[in-house]
């Protein structure tokens, strides 16, 4: 793979061949299915032993009974395995087909056309709606959100439940309509495909402006495949497809899995086979190795072969099929998908569950419990005091004449407790990355709810539940976050007045600083 230049809306202008945008999670294809299944069965000693046993019956001197007594049980086991693997492959094929057949809107010179996910090409301009899966790795060009950003759910990509904030390319977000993307001469220069989902290097260039526009692109401008759009409608240009997707390159090739139980049975079979050989040698030694003793050893091995019962293998396979069937139809865990029917018994052997943080296993519901201000602390039982301080500050401000108010605030050296509480609450209400979003609730439509800052229609969107808890708390004590975009924040006071703050600079949270900062006017 090498770096690429992708022209917006012109997939025909490509400088190299790109793979089709097809997701394929199957272990086998039509030709490799039977050889692959048989190889995976006979690479273990347990199954190979019974195969050699059955084959030995074709030699007349070793035959101990009718051929079917050996071949029918082995054939039954193999048939069960082949049918089980075929059923899994068909289910996997249907899941892949469902993903590959999802319909998306594509921007073309003729307008918007519907296109299947599998027919999407590098350079296509794709529209992705809210709660829709991103079909390919894309650069984020436009959003319908007023704040000029969108949130992504990435749990299917990196396992994290926190939403990620993504920003569109500034040049394309400023265009009046999405169809204008086809009227400009612009391209994206991107790095070669790689497995790093947390970094991206590229540039966006618009040639037909004077002077030409160059913007550097980072991970904040990307929409990786298998993520889900959590807010608004977005438009992106496709960069990578098919096997070059970040999500596909991070997925190992599907393999035939074997459980600990099967490995233990395989090991026990080897031990029993060793015992068989010893017993056969003892029997031949008692006959003083007379005549063709080596043939006698093989005949004794065949005679004692029932020590390793083939019925054990039949019972194991049937048990696994029943386990898988019961798990799929368990009413207490609806919607469970059994992706591998070869290892369901492994679930019964789990002793320890290791997790990186509490949020992985819990609901992660954050509640603001305590506010410390130097010598004073407010707990859950005294939040009404905080509320009364906020109310007193804003009622006092609205009653004071403007000149006197400015003079008193300027000359006041020691802050009163009310103003200290007010400053703390205001800081918490401003220093975050939360965006209030308004949705229609059946009574009020979205535009009207946004215009009047309707409380019942407001939903807070953020990359972390901690931030949402802070903003919900400031709302409960009287200072409500009602609006936000890239350059401003709006707060509503208890009296219903709107305070407008201009964002001058944001210092994002990093693991080194362990905090975020914001400068507002």
pLDDT digits 0-9 by tens, 476-500: 998 999 988 878 899 998 888 899 9
Residue from 96, 196, 356, 455 carrying the catalytic annotation:
356
With beta carbons less than 8 A apart as the criterion, state whether 438 and 449 touch. Answer: yes
Q: List binding-site positions for Mg(2+).
A: 356, 358
With beta carbons less than 8 A apart as the criterion, state whether 465 and 477 touch. Answer: no
Residue 509, pLDDT score: 81
With beta carbons less than 8 A apart as the criterion, state whether 229 and 140 touch. Answer: no
Residue 81, pLDDT score: 85
CATH of domain 4-12+120-250: 2.70.150.10
Residue 27, pLDDT score: 86
| Mean pLDDT, rounded, for 460-473 | 86
Highest mean pLDDT pick, 10-19, 229-238, 309-318, 404-413: 229-238
Residue 519 has pLDDT above 90, yes or no: yes
Residue with tokens 């031990």: 271
pLDDT digits (tens, 9 = 90+) for 420-432: 888 999 999 999 9
| Mean pLDDT, rounded, for 211-237 | 89
Instruction: Read off the tokens for 187.
Output: 């391209």
pLDDT band (50, 70, 90) for residue 403: very low
| Mean pLDDT, rounded, for 463-479 | 88
Instruction: Read off the tokens for 485.
Output: 């975009």
Least confident of 96-100, 193-197, 438-442, 513-517: 438-442
**What's the mean per-residue pLDDT of the chain?**
84
pLDDT band (50, 70, 90) for residue 42: confident
Which helix or strand (DSSP H or E) is residue 73 part of? Answer: helix 68-100
| Mean pLDDT, rounded, for 103-116 | 89
Which helix or strand (DSSP H or E) is residue 407 part of? Answer: helix 402-411
Residue 274, pLDDT score: 92
- Which three-class secondary structure state does DSSP give residue 458? strand
Residue 405, pLDDT score: 47
**Catalytic (active site) residue 356:** yes
Given strand 150-153, what is the order of strands in its sheet? 163-166, 150-153, 228-229
Instruction: Read off the tokens for 369.
Output: 């419990």
With beta carbons less than 8 A apart as the criterion, state whether 235 and 125 touch. Answer: yes
Residue 521, pLDDT score: 93
Residue 160 has pLDDT above 80, yes or no: no
Query: Which one-letter DSSP state was computed for residue 12?
Result: T
Residue 230, pLDDT score: 85
Residue 407 has pLDDT above 50, yes or no: no
| Mean pLDDT, rounded, for 394-402 | 65
Look at the pTM and tell me if it is higher than 0.85.
no
Ramachandran category for residue 226: left, alpha or beta (phi over 0 → left; psi -120 to 50 → alpha): left
Residue 449 has pLDDT above 70, yes or no: no
Q: How, if at all, do strands 137-143 and 150-153 pair?
A: unpaired
- CA-based nearest residue to 340, from 321, 314, 358, 364: 321
DSSP string, 271-282: HHHHHHHHHHHH
Residue 239 has pLDDT above 60, yes or no: yes
Residue 377 has pLDDT above 80, yes or no: yes
Residue 362, pLDDT score: 66
The rounded distance, in Å, linking the Cα atoms of 99 and 135 is 9
pLDDT band (50, 70, 90) for residue 380: confident
With beta carbons less than 8 A apart as the criterion, state whether 165 and 186 touch. Answer: no
Residue 474, pLDDT score: 92
In the chain, domain spans: 4-12+120-250, 22-102, 371-397+409-439+450-520
Proportion of the chain above pLDDT 70, given as a percent: 92
Residue 77 has pLDDT above 90, yes or no: no
Q: List binding-site positions for ATP.
A: 356-358, 467, 509
- Which three-class secondary structure state does DSSP give residue 478? coil
| Mean pLDDT, rounded, for 285-308 | 84
Point out which residues pair with 164 in neighbouring strands: 152
Choice between 133 and 399, residue whose per-residue pLDDT is larger: 133
Triad 323, 328, 331: Cα angle to 5°: 110
pLDDT digits (tens, 9 = 90+) for 311-327: 887 788 888 889 989 99
The rounded distance, in Å, linking the Cα atoms of 433 and 163 is 11
Q: How, if at all, do strands 103-108 and 125-128 pair?
A: antiparallel
- CA-based nearest residue to 225, from 142, 148, 118: 118
pLDDT band (50, 70, 90) for residue 504: very high
Residue 430, pLDDT score: 93
Residue 411, pLDDT score: 40
With beta carbons less than 8 A apart as the criterion, state whether 242 and 25 touch. Answer: no
């Amino acid at each position: 793979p090498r770096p690429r230049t992708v022209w917006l809306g012109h997939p025909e202008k490509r400088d190299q061949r790109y793979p089709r945008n097809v997701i394929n999670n199957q272990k086998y294809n039509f030709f490799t299915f039977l050889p692959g299944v048989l190889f995976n069965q006979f690479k273990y000693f347990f199954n190979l032993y019974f195969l050699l046993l059955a084959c030995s019956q074709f030699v007349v001197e070793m035959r101990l009974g009718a051929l079917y007594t050996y071949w029918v049980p082995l054939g039954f086991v193999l048939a069960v395995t082949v049918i089980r693997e075929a059923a899994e492959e068909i289910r996997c094929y249907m899941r892949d087909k469902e993903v590959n057949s999802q319909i998306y809107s594509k921007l073309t010179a003729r307008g918007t056309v519907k296109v299947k996910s599998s027919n999407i090409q590098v350079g296509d301009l794709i529209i992705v709606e809210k709660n829709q899966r991103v079909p390919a790795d894309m650069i984020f060009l436009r959003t319908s959100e007023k704040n000029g950003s969108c949130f992504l759910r990435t749990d299917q990509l990196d396992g994290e439940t926190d939403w990620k904030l993504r920003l569109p390319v500034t040049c394309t977000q400023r265009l009046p309509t999405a169809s204008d993307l086809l009227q400009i001469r612009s391209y994206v220069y991107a790095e070669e495909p790689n497995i790093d989902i947390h970094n991206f290097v590229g540039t966006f260039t618009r040639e037909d402006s004077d002077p030409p526009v160059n913007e550097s692109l980072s991970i904040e401008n990307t929409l990786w495949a298998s993520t889900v759009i959590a807010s608004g409608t977005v438009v992106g240009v496709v960069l990578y497809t098919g096997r070059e997707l970040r999500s596909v390159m991070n997925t190992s090739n599907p393999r035939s899995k074997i459980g600990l139980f099967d490995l233990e049975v395989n090991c026990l079979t080897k031990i029993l086979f060793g015992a068989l050989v010893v017993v056969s040698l003892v029997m031949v030694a008692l006959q003083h190795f007379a005549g063709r003793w080596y043939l006698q050893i093989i005949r004794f091995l065949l005679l004692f072969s029932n020590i390793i019962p083939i019925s054990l293998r039949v019972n194991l396979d049937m048990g696994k099929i029943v386990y898988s069937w019961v798990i799929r139809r368990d009413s207490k865990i609806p919607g469970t998908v059994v992706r591998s029917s070869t290892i369901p018994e492994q679930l019964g052997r789990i002793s320890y569950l290791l997790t990186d943080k509490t949020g992985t296993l819990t609901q992660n519901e954050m509640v603001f419990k305590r506010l410390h201000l130097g010598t004073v602390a407010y707990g859950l039982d005294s939040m009404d005091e905080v509320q009364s301080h906020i109310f007193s500050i804003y009622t006092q401000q609205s009653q004071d004449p403007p000149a006197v108010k400015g003079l008193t605030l300027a000359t006041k050296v020691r802050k009163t407790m009310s103003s200290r509480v007010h400053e703390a609450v205001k800081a918490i209400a401003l220093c975050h990355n939360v965006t209030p979003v308004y949705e229609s609730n059946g009574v009020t439509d979205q535009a009207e709810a946004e215009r009047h800052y309707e409380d019942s229609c407001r939903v807070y969107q953020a990359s972390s539940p901690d931030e949402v808890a802070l903003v919900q708390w400031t709302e409960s004590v009287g200072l409500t976050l009602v609006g936000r975009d890239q350059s401003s924040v709006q707060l509503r006071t208890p009296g219903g007045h709107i305070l407008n703050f201009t964002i001058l600079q944001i210092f994002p949270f990093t693991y080194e600083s362990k905090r975020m900062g914001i400068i507002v006017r």
